Amino acid sequence: MNAPNPLDTMRASGYLRADGRKGIRNYVVVAYLVECAHHVARTIASKYEPQAVQLIGFPGCYLSDYADSMMQSLCTHPNVGAVLLVSLGCEEFKRSALAEVISSSGRPVDVLVIQEQGGTRSTIEKGFTIVDDLRAEVEKGGRTPFTAADLMIGTECGGSDGTSALTANPAIGLAFDGICAAGGTAMFEETCELFGCEAHMTDRAVTPELAQAIDAAMAKAHQYHTDLGYSSFGGGNITGGLTTIEEKSLGAYAKSGSAPIVGMLKPAVRPSGPGLYLMDTVNDGGLRFGIPNINDNATVIEMVASGCHMVLFSTGRGSVVGSAIAPIVKICANPRTFRNLSEDMDVDAGKVLEQRATLDDVALEILETVRRTAEGVPTKSEGLGHQEFILTYKTFEPLGPGCLPI
């Protein structure tokens, strides 16, 4: 891209957190700690505008180190200003430990236990009072300058078709190059479908040790899906014109751009500095929990847990999902889909196919949308109230020493 980078002139004002990170939103989060508390938490959150209060949670009764680390990271995300935890009371989630992590991060936090509060109605009414107080508390915080160097951006494919690899995905790759050039942090994933791209990624790794770690992550993903007997390639991809997982992989890889890969992450692990990162999203160990990324939002929220302020979401068939905590920017690959679903799409990358724009033009439009979103302008999914969220069971081992060389 020869045109000026819109991020170079970004003049956002963020929310400074105690750990030095800055948020582009200032949500109160209502978090349920077991499915039995979901209705109560949802009823509390639904009283408020989605831009003020967000709903997240974990449905399982039983202990999960993965869910624990994810919830700790999400509840202390830079876009989160305060948290209300909603517990049934007899689940195994360590609510007191989670509350302590949140409090230690400098955020106001409160806990409601339904079995101790008197039941559904009593807990909901108490929840309204607490959220009102939390909202008043977060609004007292000041603002601080937020530049491109503070940005952390993820990317995801969803509802891919034959146009995705031709328009939206390479345009996101060019935008990722622009984010890295401006001093920001970019994150791509989908190790469950990057098969055939291993050598391209290892060639871009900044150290031999990182290259080995990427190779090992891809070998693990390949073995996992071989054991599963199913890859990340669905009927919608086929009817949309894709023929193989390798063909889909090339499109997924295009979103990463051309910058050096400076590290590899696992969910809820923060990058150690600016630049481009690969996230490994396939759980460690043998086949245990089924499909590791059961839908797009499962991996979106993993990138959010690692600190992403927003996620660039490429779609050809048309996906309308958003996300809790971090705004989703929808980049539509197919011009027909964009015309049909324009109320849900932020950027029309399909105009490249109709020769109404170049890939560079679309990349600049994506970067301009990132700038506006960071400055507080709601994305389409935000304006429609989307805040999809899913958290299931996975198992991850700690990162090896070669994964974060900087």
Q: Are strands 80-87 and 310-315 parallel, antiparallel or unpaired?
A: unpaired
Contact 324, 342 (CB under 8 A): no
CA 215/CA 406 separation, integer angstroms: 19
pLDDT the model gives residue 109: 98
d(C-alpha 168, C-alpha 313), whole Å: 9
Residue 232: band (very low, low, confident or very high) from pLDDT cuts 50, 70, 90: low
Please tell me the predicted confidence (pLDDT) of residue 247: 61
Encoded amino acid at 252, one letter? A
Q: Given a cut of 70, is residue 202 above it in pLDDT?
A: yes
pTM of the model: 0.95
Strands (DSSP E) found in 95-195: 109-113, 144-146, 152-157, 185-188
The one-letter amino acid code at 203 reads: D
User: How far apart (Å, rounded) are the C-alpha atoms in residues 319 and 341?
Assistant: 9
Q: Which CATH architecture has domain 27-138?
A: 3-Layer(aba) Sandwich (3.40)
The full set of domain ranges for the chain reads 27-138, 148-383
Q: pLDDT value at position 236?
A: 61
Reported confidence tier of residue 161, pLDDT bands at 50, 70, 90: confident
What is the spatial order of strands in the sheet that 275-279 belongs to?
261-265, 275-279, 185-188, 152-157, 310-315, 328-332, 347-348
